[in-house]
Amino acid sequence: MSQNWSLWRTVPLTTLFAEQQKKTGLKKNLGPVDLVALGVGAIIGTGIFVMTGVAASQFAGPGLVFSFILAGIAAGLAALVYAELASTIPVAGSAYTYTYAVLGEFVAWTVGWSLILGYMVAGGAVAIGWGAYVVEFLRSVDVLLPAVLVNPPAAGGILNLPAMAVALLVTVLTVRGTHQTKTLTKIAVLIKLAVIVLFIAVGAQFIDPANWSPFLPFGLLGIVQGAAIIFFAYIGFDAVATAAEESRKPQRDLPLGIIGSLLIATVLYIAVTVILTGLVPYTQLNTASPVATALMRAGIPMAGSVVAVGALAGITSVLLVTVYAQSRIFFAMSRDGLIPEVFSRVHTRFRTPYISVLTVGAVVMLTAGLLPIHVIAQVANIGTLAVFVITSVGVLVLRRTRPDLPRTFKAPGFPWTPLLAIAASAYLIVNLPSSSWVQFAAWMSAGILIYFLYGYRRSKLAPGGNPPGWRNLLAAPAVRPGSPPPRERKPGMTPGNLGAGLPQPGRQYMIRGVWPAT
């Protein structure tokens, strides 16, 4: 492995493939059905059961169905990109690992730091939704919890106790291992799919078409802004890629898990949105439990209670996958030396990165207990969309630099698919509220500071000694993925007489700058 001080230093693909082949301490017990269930478990939950209400009431109205279609197109393009990278580089870490191998360490750090924001903040939003459905269900059986224990300080409470409780439960389950997690995820997925079908079947009989008028109360801009907000609902298909090192046949099964789970989720999102906005006026959906609330206000309390219980199962599966995925990203970053080694320690009994899981669980608990859901959703969206942009660039670069790599799945319509993924994600980013930009900028500034104070020097790609001055930092050599280290140039050797079969400048390796004088 070549070591240098460049910000663009990369992990050779040969190294990544070697790590995939050897035992990492993680169990390989996930098949294609497990991965589809993992993806559906991560996607379907908060989007349908929580975010539909906020997005319809404040941004898109009944036109939210078009917002889901727009967001689904953007997510679908990104999913094709992810599927190609997952089949080409089937190792733990998802987009973080892909960019480390293709675009360099500094870009990989920004991706990993963005994913940390996306997953942990998203986990808080999921836990808040779970708590809201608990409160709604208990209210349906005439049990009222104290308001100060179910609301964050911004809403007049002390903390959201139900949300913190489920975060603690999921953390314990995730520490115990993927076998328990995948079994519970499969059960939860089946329950929530059954509940969604029940909601569609029952709700369709009580639709009032008058509730769809006006269909676009916020205009066309509302559709785009709604798509930017509810894109949060599609966060999760990328979680499948983080399970690469626990998949039995990752190159075949990861694309199936990513694309299959996204297709199932998109169809259900559109159907539920049509029914939801037809049951009650969109102005009444500004709640963290819109599906159960809509049924109860439409005069179907029994169905509302059943849906609330099913929503709890569905949201639990989302939280399980969210905590699982973020802990694996911590695991990969720690293994690369960018964050302390303790985050890659594997439990001797459960064979899971337990320190990473406990850290993620603690942050999710605090986020869920102390912050309102609308703030959390906006911040999670911008981080994930930024990652999709960078990942799509990675596909473009890898196709050009390593066309020889085996790809069991190729994104169709290349190069237009990754280019459209970049354009769609960037467009949604632009349409997020300005407060999201401020919060994201603050988060990334903190991450860059941590990288230069710790990760840059402790990286396994960093040579010994002190780093170079800032002027030489960007000019350090950057070795392309899988390339041999640059050969030492001997006196009298020029670019024209390197000899047949030897590395050529700009092909096998790249020196930033010019050839030294003889």
Q: What is the tens place of the pLDDT at every residue in 82-95?
A: 878 877 776 655 67
Instruction: For residues 331-341, give the mean pLDDT.
Output: 89
User: In this structure, are residues 37 and 186 in contact, taking their beta carbons and an 8 Å threshold?
Assistant: yes
Instruction: For residues 482-492, give the mean pLDDT.
Output: 45
513 within some domain = no
Residues 6+ apart with CB under 8 A from 332: 91, 92, 93, 96, 97, 112
**Number of independent structural domains in the chain:** 1
7 within some domain = no
Provide the b/e sequence for 67-76 (b: ≥16 CB within 10 Å).
Answer: bbebbbebbb
Q: What is the CATH number of the domain that holds 281?
A: 1.20.1740.10
Calculate Rg over the CA atoms of the chain: 24
pLDDT tens across 306-328, in order? 887 777 877 787 788 788 878 88
Residue 317 in tokens = 């599966």
Task: Share the mean pLDDT of the chain.
Answer: 79
Judged against a pLDDT cut of 70, whether residue 208 lies above it is answered with: yes
11 within some domain = no
Question: What's residue 410's pLDDT?
Answer: 82
Question: What's residue 449's pLDDT?
Answer: 94
User: In this structure, are residues 123 and 321 in contact, taking their beta carbons and an 8 Å threshold?
Assistant: no
451 within some domain = yes
Instruction: For residues 485-504, give the mean pLDDT.
Output: 42
510 within some domain = no
Query: Distance of CA 465 to CAs 87, 111, 353, 475, 486, Å?
Result: 37, 27, 30, 18, 20
Question: What's residue 210's pLDDT?
Answer: 92
215 within some domain = yes
User: In this structure, are residues 109 and 455 in contact, taking their beta carbons and an 8 Å threshold?
Assistant: yes
Question: What's residue 7's pLDDT?
Answer: 83
List, in sequence order, every residue forming a beta bridge with 150; answer none if it has no partner: 160
Question: What's residue 506's pLDDT?
Answer: 42
User: In this structure, are residues 447 and 106 in contact, taking their beta carbons and an 8 Å threshold?
Assistant: no
Q: Which amino acid is at 163?
A: A
468 within some domain = no
Quick one: CA dihedral 43, 48, 52, 53, positive or negative?
negative
Judged against a pLDDT cut of 60, whether residue 408 lies above it is answered with: yes
- 500 burial (CB, 10 Å; 0-12 / 13-18 / 19+) is exposed
Question: What's residue 51's pLDDT?
Answer: 80
454 band by pLDDT with thresholds 50, 70 and 90: very high
Judged against a pLDDT cut of 80, whether residue 494 lies above it is answered with: no
Q: Which residue has the higher pLDDT, 508 or 248?
A: 248
Instruction: Count CB atoms within 10 A of the CB of residue 210.
Output: 8
Peptide bond just before 415 cis, omega within 30 deg: yes
Q: Which domain holds residue 443?
A: 30-404+414-457
109 within some domain = yes
Instruction: Count CB atoms within 10 A of the CB of residue 466.
Output: 8
